[in-house]
């Protein structure tokens, strides 16, 4: 976990310099269009957003897999309409199945999507699609729209908007990543993805197979607050048929023969990939949040929704009218952290005192903040453990604070303590494992023979891009999932 301040939520503001509007030529269509971003601005914006994405979601630490992704991405970028942009390809440490493009050449692939892909050709199609969003300037265009909507917002207004948005998945700063593309943009990105994958020698019709997999999945956002594929990349009409048709067109246009699929090579690359939520980064079990790496725990009120990102934990009330925020402060003492919070937020202090929480030095503050929506009351605790100061803030409108939410906030914050239970500390994530089938048979039979549990069969079929009654020959690689929290 890294530090964030309440101003994290205002992080969009420094990203909103008033760019002079100008007409730019679209690199894909060749048409002139209104753009607030020059290419230089685009790259600068990309760099800024990238540091926020890394801080907030964290990267999947696997140098070999990242290098592999980057090598493939660079090959695709070289045949794209904007080969000279400085491209970066990164793996976001999230189980959510999605991929994101940010202006200036930043492409993010989640480890969740890597688990569900079944060949290098499918991966090339997905990466080509994301590169397409960048080359056709869809991301820059979205940014232009978002900026026009945000210009002129004052800090106080942003705070109350932020407060309202606590219940949403939308995150400020990196919110741009989560804007929904139009169906026309999606169609164009599909076409470009097929083109770039074909130009690098891949069978681009494999992208259609992956879209079939996506349609069979239950779309779920993760605890990290990242949205799933269809919430950012909506389906244009007959997407799968259109991709297959375009792939055939490009194959004949380029005279391609022996197009690459590279199924086995890809599957061996992802053998051992972490699957699902990684409990080492924090997990909820029976209304207690445990963090094995940082060795702390605290209770969470039943029914509240917890989102855990690398930079903070948010806990949202069932009625979405109260929220608790939790992160690591950069200050050295609880008192210093409390003073910094009061100073940064501009809140007026009602009570402030030192106390101890489960034997740990702490400081407690009750404060009020004026927002556009009215007075918000905040209970804050700053608690020191192992040379780090952790801070909690519980917020709701004043009228609901004293009798309703303050006791709930207090139970969670005063419940913060050292995690010493070895069983809760030594947790291991589930991982994708690649196995070879010894005999032929239905997928269902073979998965069971490989040790898959019955209740996971449906999900494993989707993971393998096959159906349970499909006949599978001997000596084929299949993915199974091993380990994880019981
Ligand atoms: Zn898209």
pLDDT digits (tens, 9 = 90+) for 319-373: 888 889 898 988 999 999 999 888 888 889 999 999 999 999 999 999 998 876 6
Mean local confidence (pLDDT), 371-386: 89
| Contacts of 2 by beta carbon, 8 Å cutoff, 6+ apart | 55, 310, 311, 328
Q: Determine the Cα–Cα distance for residues 282 and 414; give it in Å rounded to an integer.
A: 19
| Main-chain dihedrals φ then ψ at residue 203, nearest 5 degrees | -80, 95
Question: What pLDDT, on a 0 to 100 scale, did the predictor assign at position 224?
Answer: 63
End position of a domain, from candidates 425, 447, 468: 425
Mean local confidence (pLDDT), 244-254: 96
Q: What is the residue-averaged pLDDT of the chain? A: 85
Both 138 and 246 in one domain: the answer is yes
Both 442 and 421 in one domain: the answer is no
Say how many domains are in the chain.
Answer: 3
Closest CA to 392 of 468, 473, 324: 324
How far does the centroid of ligand 1 lie from the alpha carbon of residue 238, in Å? 15
How far does the centroid of ligand 1 lie from the alpha carbon of residue 407, in Å? 45
Both 382 and 293 in one domain: the answer is yes
End position of a domain, from candidates 386, 410, 425: 425
Both 189 and 268 in one domain: the answer is yes
* Residue 1 within any structural domain of the chain: no
User: Which domain, by its residues, includes 367?
Assistant: 279-425
Both 249 and 348 in one domain: the answer is no
How far does the centroid of ligand 1 lie from the alpha carbon of residue 125, in Å? 11
Both 402 and 289 in one domain: the answer is yes
How far does the centroid of ligand 1 lie from the alpha carbon of residue 25, in Å? 21
How far does the centroid of ligand 1 lie from the alpha carbon of residue 466, in Å? 24
How far does the centroid of ligand 1 lie from the alpha carbon of residue 402, in Å? 46
| Contacts of 355 by beta carbon, 8 Å cutoff, 6+ apart | 362, 363, 364
* Residue 188 within any structural domain of the chain: yes
CA distances from 337 to 37, 232, 321, 461 (A): 38, 37, 26, 50
Mean local confidence (pLDDT), 234-260: 94
Which H or E run includes 323? strand 322-329
Mean local confidence (pLDDT), 396-401: 91
Q: Specify the higher pLDDT residue, 16 or 215.
A: 215
Which H or E run includes 363? strand 360-371
Q: Specify the higher pLDDT residue, 139 or 147.
A: 139
| Main-chain dihedrals φ then ψ at residue 21, nearest 5 degrees | -70, 150
Both 233 and 163 in one domain: the answer is yes
Both 184 and 300 in one domain: the answer is no
């Amino acid at each position: 976990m890294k530090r964030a301040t309440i101003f994290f939520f205002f992080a969009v503001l420094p990203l909103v310099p008033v760019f002079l509007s100008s007409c730019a030529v679209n690199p894909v269509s060749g048409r002139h269009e209104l753009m607030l971003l020059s290419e230089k601005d685009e790259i600068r914006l990309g760099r800024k957003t990238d540091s926020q994405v890394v801080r907030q979601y964290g990267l999947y630490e696997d140098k070999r897999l990242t290098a592999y992704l980057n090598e493939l991405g660079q090959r695709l970028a070289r045949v794209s309409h904007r080969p000279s942009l400085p491209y970066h390809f990164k793996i976001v440490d999230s189980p959510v199945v999605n991929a994101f493009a940010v202006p200036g050449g930043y492409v993010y692939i989640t480890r969740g999507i890597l688990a569900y892909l079944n060949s290098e050709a499918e991966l090339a199609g997905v990466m080509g699609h994301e590169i397409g969003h960048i080359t056709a300037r869809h991301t820059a265009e979205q940014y232009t729209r978002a900026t026009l909507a945000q210009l002129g917002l004052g800090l106080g207004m942003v705070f109350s908007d932020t407060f309202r948005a606590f219940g949403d998945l939308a995150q400020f700063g990196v919110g741009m990543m989560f804007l929904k593309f139009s169906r026309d943009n999606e169609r164009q990105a599909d076409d470009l993805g097929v083109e770039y994958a074909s130009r690098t020698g891949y069978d681009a019709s494999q992208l259609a197979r992956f879209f079939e997999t996506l349609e069979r999945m239950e779309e779920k956002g993760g605890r990290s607050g990242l949205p799933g594929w269809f919430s950012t990349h909506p389906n244009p009409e007959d997407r799968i048929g259109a991709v297959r048709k375009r792939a055939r067109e490009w194959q004949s246009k380029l005279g391609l023969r022996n197009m690459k699929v590279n199924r086995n090579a890809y599957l061996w690359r992802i053998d051992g990939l972490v699957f699902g939520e990684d409990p080492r980064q924090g997990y909820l079990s029976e209304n207690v949040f445990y963090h094995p790496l940082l060795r702390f725990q605290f209770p969470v009120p039943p029914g509240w929704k917890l989102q855990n990102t690398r930079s903070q934990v948010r806990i949202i009330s069932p009625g979405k009218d109260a929220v608790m925020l939790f992160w690591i402060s950069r200050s050295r003492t609880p008192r210093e952290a409390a003073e910094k919070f009061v100073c940064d937020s501009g809140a007026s202090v009602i009570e402030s005192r030192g106390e101890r929480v489960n034997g740990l030095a702490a400081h407690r503050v009750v404060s009020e903040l004026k927002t556009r929506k009215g007075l918000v009351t905040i209970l804050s605790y700053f608690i020191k453990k192992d040379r780090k100061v952790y801070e909690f803030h519980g917020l709701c409108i004043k009228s609901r604070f004293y009798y309703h939410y303050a006791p709930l906030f207090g139970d969670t914050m005063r419940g913060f303590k050292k995690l010493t239970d070895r069983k809760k500390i030594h947790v291991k994530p589930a991982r994708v494992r690649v196995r070879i089938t010894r005999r032929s048979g239905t997928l269902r039979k073979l998965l069971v023979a490989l040790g898959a549990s019955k209740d996971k069969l449906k999900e494993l079929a989707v993971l393998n891009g096959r159906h349970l009654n499909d006949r599978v020959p001997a000596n084929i690689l299949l993915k199974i999932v091993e380990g994880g929290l019981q």
